[in-house]
Structure 1
Amino acid sequence: MGTDIYGHVECLPTHRRLDEEDVSGWRRAVDLDLLYGGRCYDAFGCLFGVRNHAGFRPLAADRGLPGDVSAEVLSAYESWGPSAYGASWIGWAELARVDWDELGERVDARVHAFSRAGAWVLTGKGFWDPEDRPEGSEWLQDGRLFRRARTSRRDAVQTDGAWEPLWATMRTLAEIHGEEHVRLVVWFDG
């Protein structure tokens, strides 16, 4: 059984306030499943420490739900009951300052497999390595290249890939309401 991510983008609106003391609270802006429908354990590990096979220092592991989470997001989370775990959140201000070239703290627990398409192209990762070779080891087998390596945050959470619609939405909300007023609240099952 696999692990899936669920959650919502929340925003603390700055429009339509009567004055600085008029704080109406965080609001659910959009469901995560409308922007991201994938299952990427490298991204889950990099961001939240869930299924962290690549050995990242997670950006926002086990924070739980924010104390001021919106009623809609709290209700959505509670509807999962005990099958939900790993609840956490990360703000756009944090994401905007991430060093995406940072490598995992240790070699990936999985062997990286490459196939030739002109150049070698990563085609998968798996736990198979009967010799448990050290970082940087490479070997050819059945026309494929295998490598033990660390993974960068950029490779785990490809900003121009499946996560781009989420990042674009959060970036747009941050441009309107401010970086500190946009966050992603998540949980997992599986």
Structure 2
Amino acid sequence: MGSTTTGALGTVLPVRQYYVQTDSALPGQAYRMCFSSTCAMAVKYLRPGALLGANADDTYLRTVQRFGDTTSPSAQIAACAHYGVAARFGTHGTSSLLQREIDGGFPVGTGFLHHGPSQAPRGGGHWILAIGYAPAAGVFNDPYGELNNPAGGYVQVGRGGRAVHYSWRHWLPRWEVEGTGTGWFMTYRLA
């Protein structure tokens, strides 16, 4: 897994694999497989030999589809287990939970609303992998690209999402939509 970088700029896990969901070769999946690309990055980090190739999130998605749809937490949990990773889904996430997991050496999948301004987010949701944090921001691998965190939408699609810093000020309202302690998340451990 490598060593965690900790310094004045924060803590970042050495999650080297970054999967871009928009390059999927599976018909109709590129714009809806963010949850699968996110979980695939976590699996690759915890089990480096489990997924091979630059586009291995497609391989992971095929496994997910054996258990259900890419949007299903239970299908993701089953797919992670197939690769030797125990995943747990929750809906009570906080920034301190993210920091504890990252301090323990584990990235965290996070589901949030990516449309509309941060003070009134909307949309069907999007998943990204929390890989670090700094005093004023989270550090994420965003499989869709680079989010315009204050306004919503994306400034770069299909690129720019590796180790991107999203300010807590604008990202936490997108994640904890129903108030403090309501963020959707997925934790990962070796099985």
Question: Which gives a bigger RCO, structure 1 or 2 (Cα 8 Å, sep 6+)?
Answer: 1
More helix by share: 2
Give the TM-score of the pair, scaled to structure 2.
0.26
Give the TM-score taking structure 1 as reference length: 0.26
